[in-house]
Structure 1
Amino acid sequence: MNANPRMGVASATAAAVLSCGLLIPAPAAAADELHNVTYIAKVDSWSSGNVVTFMRNDTETASADLDAFGSQFEANTVMTDPSKAGMVIRLRFPTTATVHCEIKVDDVTTVKSERFVNTWGNTNDPHTGAMLCGALISSMA
């Protein structure tokens, strides 16, 4: 057998393997891929002065009022690292209520929680009257 048929067979084999994708690894996700993050919070209580603080992007927080019985708070943002998505719901003293929170990343619910929160506990504890949802954010530290 001479060199020309061997080269043709080798080229055909390489082309077949490459066209099947056996030697090509799956493309890695881009490091700066953006994710849509949705925060949802609700307090089942007649109270005012409640505040929700959430990660606005990978490094900054934002806050909003969370008032009125059963009114749902919703915020949408974009993050490169969705593992940093988190929020804190703080109730104003003297409030006790069931607090609901949910975090969605790219329309998939990643965190969903419901808990009874009481502001009457240890007043020296900064976590009294607050509910963490998702990642720990700077306002909880």
Structure 2
Amino acid sequence: MDDKIETSAEAAEAHAMPRFHEVHSDPDQPCMKAAAKALGDKPGGDKSAAQWAYERMILYIQNFEKTLDEEHEVAMGFVGGDAGVLRIEGMGYFDPDIVTFYGEDASGARTQLVQHVGQLSVMLRALPKPAKVAAPNRIGFRLAEDLAKA
């Protein structure tokens, strides 16, 4: 028997994970179902809420990048604010409940978003890659590669 006390929200989230369902109007649209299986274990184990959010964001970023052509890169819009858009160059987490995104804004200024997992609400966007760069930056691949090493 587990002696851990959970809030009703934690119990509901643990019960809901790792279920996944997604439908698209375009049947060729990349689906998260296969990617979600990559997480493997169930929530509530040794992973914090921050680590779970980090790992799921990696999957969403990778899946989004599959829809991009060679002229675009993934960026994120800040939902509910006027802070603009961040071209994602890095991502991390700080246990137990913080996720952070690193990059630059549309003007090229260095930008970092520090977000509590309870407030995590981002919009992935396609931005044209910088003209000075030959190939688009695919951060999702590097994030997943790093996760596999851990």
Compute the TM-score of the two structures, normalised by the length of structure 2.
0.29
Structure with the largest fraction of strand: 1
Q: Rg larger in 1 or in 2?
A: 1
Structure with the largest fraction of helix: 2
Compute the TM-score of the two structures, normalised by the length of structure 1.
0.30
